Structure 1
Amino acid sequence: MRNVVILGSGRSGTSMVAGTLSQAGYFMGENFWPTRDANPKGFFEDVEINEINEDILEPLIPKRLHIPAIKIRRLRLHIPERAFFRNRPLKWHRWLACVPVKAEIPSSSQIIERIQKITQKEPYCLKDPRFSYTLPVWKPYLKDTAFICVFRDPASTVLSILKECSSVDHLSHEITGIRLSWQQALEMWTLMYEHILEKHCRQGEWLFIHYEQAVSPEGLNRLETFTGASVDRSFPNPNIRRSFSDKPVPKKTMKIYQKLCELANYEIDLK
């Protein structure tokens, strides 16, 4: 049974895939976030793992600037572009962050020590959408680890993210520090998978799996073969999915989605 890291945008099916492996004997964490309506079977995300990734991302997310709107245009000439990220999530909400592909992902001796403490607990199955950005910091300390990238069509994923943010109190603007729009959520989706395709998947063994595959017997067979773990075939429940959108997305985003589908051997209708 191989160690596993599960990554991909939030609301794409990563929790469902993690759930199918939750009874296989993996260490997945010691303090899971509680269930809620969006994920009634659980998120399978550990608080400490999330916090490590939050701390890695913190230097990349500039603090909100409390300046009059009329000065923004003038200040853009003098302040680095990254200071004007359109969404600046506060701690615990950086799974909604937009991190440029060219950004250097920082680390520290304290973070490395915490990562090593987690990765000593083998076999492990670690799941967090933030890995889509932070994986380079973790990779040197991952042993015999297989990587599972879960994805879903971008329009439906974005709709699900927006529904989640509008229906859960702790994801409100007052708590997160952002007002997430369709365009911003789509940018986040695009950037996360850009990081995976352009930076992460060139090394290591990867399984790309579409949400629809993850609820199928064939997809579960692939997951079991890839990980060497026993998969709980009763766990996936496609009826939990409530969001669907056929809203058009930009060409760049669609190209990334097509590439993911190609890697997953999943056929899509391009008509």
Structure 2
Amino acid sequence: MSSSTAATPGAATGATSSSGSADPSGRRLVFVVGSGRSGTSTMSGTLQTLGIHVPQPEVRADDTNPKGFGEPQWVVDLHDELLRRCQVQVSDARPSAWFEAGKLATDEELRERLHRWLEEQFAEGGSELVVKDPRLSWFLGLWRGAAVRAGATPSYITMLRPVTEVVGSKQKYYSSRFGEVSRTAAWVNMMLHTERATREGVRAFVRYHDLLSDWTVPLFAIGEQFGLQGVQTASANDIRKVHNFIDPSLRRVQATWEDLQVPPRLREVADETWQALDAMAEPDGDTAEVRATLDQLRVAYTDLYDESEALAQSSVIAARRAGQRPAAPAAAVPARRVDRIPHGVRAAVPGPVRRGLRKALGRER
């Protein structure tokens, strides 16, 4: 383990904290990170129920998250804007996407914009805030800088759920734009780089099923490790509210590798990544050995992605050329047989029939 962190005992949660005393301002900023569909909303909502402020307004609940997302709308809108600027997707499998997103951390105007927003939220919500959004991991460097400017101690909770369940849940509740292979690769990319980005900070790893089975164990351990007054001073009424909030039945997808069609090498890297991250959630699990394993997996995944990208280069070039191919000028399009039919005859044919004829004869595409 690095000299800047020290493992601390905790049941069903792996937590580390950086050395040094807490910030005298008492401000705490908790980032809930990890892949979407991993229980990040449940964690954010639990912290909120215990008194940690979620900046308002929030993203509205829907069928995919009936208990709510626990996400500030302002943060979601900001991240959407930033992803467009750096041309990165929410679920991006490219290792190089981290470099593109990371460039924004040096944007002084953007850093000041986040700092001003944080100051407003601390003034409104008190000294403890929680920020959660599936896009958050891409911009942790930016947020860390804003937290420091606001005199707040940043900390990170990484939610863990088996990759097969995450991919299965996304396939069920999200659009079919991405397939199982792409979603699996994006999960590996997201989780490996999120772990690396949080390594020098105060952090904890929590399994989603541990949170659902007995939330008090990981939450009270986190309250102690992060120095969260909202958790440490929770009343009996607060605890009852969390019991009512957490619904184990919301773990509605429990897919396995038998349910997914993923190439063997990607499946192997994803499986080993899950096992290493799962070990992090054990008491004293954030060890130098596990970190070294994750470093090796990050290299292995990058190599696998580069190889796959090289193999698909011909398809990439063909797709690019197809997108750039100019449409044929109108004068170059040969006359169709339908064009030689006298106007009076064509006018007598009902519109839907005429359109069907044009389509059959190749006039419409």
Question: Which residue does 1:47 correspond to in 2?
Answer: 73
- Unpaired stretches in structure 2, ≥5 consecutive residues: 1-25, 123-127, 286-365
Q: Secondary structure at the match of 1:147?
A: strand
CA 1:32–1:137: 2 relative to 1, 3 Å:
same
Task: Tell me the amino acid that sits aligned with residue 256 of structure 1.
Answer: T
| CA deviation profile, 1:222-266 (whole Å, cap 9, x unmatched) | 233334232643122111111011116611111211111111118
- CA positional deviation for 1:23: 2.8
Which one has a bigger Cα radius of gyration?
2
Counterparts of 1:198-217 in structure 2 under 5 Å? 198=196, 200-215=197-212, 216=214, 217=216
Q: Secondary structure at the match of 2:50?
A: coil
Question: Which residue does 2:95 correspond to in 1?
Answer: 100
Question: Which residue does 1:244 correspond to in 2?
Answer: 254
Task: Tell me the amino acid that sits aligned with residue 143 of structure 2.
Answer: W
Counterparts of 1:48-197 in structure 2 under 5 Å? 48-61=74-87, 94-100=89-95, 103-104=99-100, 105-107=102-104, 108-120=107-119, 121-122=121-122, 123-142=128-147, 143-166=152-175, 179-197=177-195
Q: Secondary structure at the match of 1:148?
A: strand
Alignment of 1:21 with 2:18, yes or no, is: no
- Indicate the percent of aligned positions where both proteins have the same amino acid: 25
Contact 2:32/2:158 (<8 A) preserved: yes
Task: Tell me the amino acid that sits aligned with residue 239 of structure 1.
Answer: S
Contact 2:207/2:278 (<8 A) preserved: yes
Matched length: 224
Question: TM-score w.r.t. structure 2 length?
Answer: 0.57
| CA deviation profile, 1:120-148 (whole Å, cap 9, x unmatched) | 23321100111222111211122212110
Question: Which residue does 1:8 correspond to in 2?
Answer: 34
Contact 1:56/1:106 (<8 A) preserved: no
Question: TM-score w.r.t. structure 1 length?
Answer: 0.75
Rounded Cα–Cα distance in structure 2 between residues aligned with 1:207 and 1:187: 24
- CA positional deviation for 1:35: 0.7
| CA deviation profile, 1:195-238 (whole Å, cap 9, x unmatched) | 1123x122111100010111223223323333423264312211
Rounded Cα–Cα distance in structure 1 between residues aligned with 2:223 and 2:144: 23
- CA positional deviation for 1:151: 1.5
Contact 1:132/1:193 (<8 A) preserved: no
Q: If each structure's helix is expressed as a fraction of its own residues, which one has the higher value?
A: 2
The partner residue of 1:253 within 264, 270, 279 is 270
| CA deviation profile, 1:129-180 (whole Å, cap 9, x unmatched) | 11222111211122212110002000011010111114xxxxxx6xxxxx21
| CA deviation profile, 1:87-140 (whole Å, cap 9, x unmatched) | xxxxxxx43333425524222344223211232233211001112221112111
Rounded Cα–Cα distance in structure 1 between residues aligned with 2:186 and 2:246: 26
Bigger RCO (CA 8 Å, 6+ sep) = 1
Contact 1:5/1:146 (<8 A) preserved: yes
Would you identify which runs of 4 or more consecutive aligned residues in structure 1 move more than 6 Å? Answer: none
